[in-house]
Structure 1
């Protein structure tokens, strides 16, 4: 199956030659990615990768990117973090309809990652919730890739937790 996802990296200071990076990415197996370098010191790899499952697609892309850019640091895997407008577009409804749905089911709607004037959710959480409601055109492939990118982002952040805090916090977060 074909999976579409993005990996965003922060480049090391020594990786400033864009042509060289693109060549190394191609040689490492990232020939199925479109490379974007808009922000200084950052690179985005938009993949369309064939694999047996979403995790295999993401995992192999992470390995290939690491071979090409060993000192780059992963910033984010996507699709993952989304606002209501993003979800509405994917579900084929207006933002207003998505907001009404969220408010009407406030106790069961997925919790946001960040709550504020612009709240942010993990895409997979909202897609799974919407899928359980029925008539939304949510592709299983999109749900699978969103689940996989969420796990990558959670693992990336979890590396930063100090063990003593982890032991104290985990029982309190359930």
Structure 2
């Protein structure tokens, strides 16, 4: 078993939701820290499982069993270069060099949004897989990014759980 760290944003909860912590704990979220950003509630998990997808699916089920909806899987979204630096403990300058291709390994993922802005956005799953390939990030973090990305797409399609057969591991 491995321990996977990830965050899930709840869609129908606020910090004052009745018995929020108790409901989540009793449903199986005893390995999550309940956090809030303004009125938005999110859970930070350190969950043990065989795969990141298993960890995320079991957390998803527990949240739903507690009566809450999932708004997003934090690691399944987009990031800017500052976010990448923060998530990896690399300097902002190093990440910028990778993105521009001026230093370090080549082939950094291309931005997917904001090309006409000073802050382009990148697909975190693509970036995480690239970073693992170049020994700049732990494998588990990339597995969480890829699984979160898949589940985020599932949310957009109206369902969040995926079977392990539908997933794939980073770098394969």
Q: Same fold (TM over 0.5)?
A: yes
Q: Which consecutive unaligned segments of at least 5 residues does structure 2 have? A: 160-172
Preserved contact between residue 90 and residue 138 of structure 1 (Cα < 8 Å): no
8 Å contact from structure 2 (residues 15, 41) kept in 1: no
User: How many Å apart are 1:110 and its aligned residue?
Assistant: 1.8
Q: Which residue of 2 aligns with 1:165?
A: none
Secondary structure of 1:43's aligned partner: strand
- Which residue of the other structure, out of 73, 90, 94, is the alignment partner of 2:69? 73
Q: State how far apart, in whole Å, the 2-side matches of 1:146 and 1:34 are.
A: 19
Give CA deviations for 1:19-69 in whole Å, capped at 9, x if unaligned.
5121111110011111113422x3101111111110000000000000002
Aligned residue-pair number: 152
Q: 1:139 to 1:104 in 2, by over 3 A?
A: same
Coordinate RMSD, CA, aligned: 2.5
Tell me the TM-score normalized by structure 2: 0.76
Give the C-alpha shift of residue 124 in structure 1: 1.9
From 84, 87, 95, give the equivalent of 2:84.
87
Aligned to 1:155: 154
Which structure has the bigger radius of gyration?
1
For 1:119, the equivalent position in structure 2 comes to 120
Q: Secondary structure at the match of 2:38?
A: coil
CA contact (8 A) 1:6 1:44 kept: yes
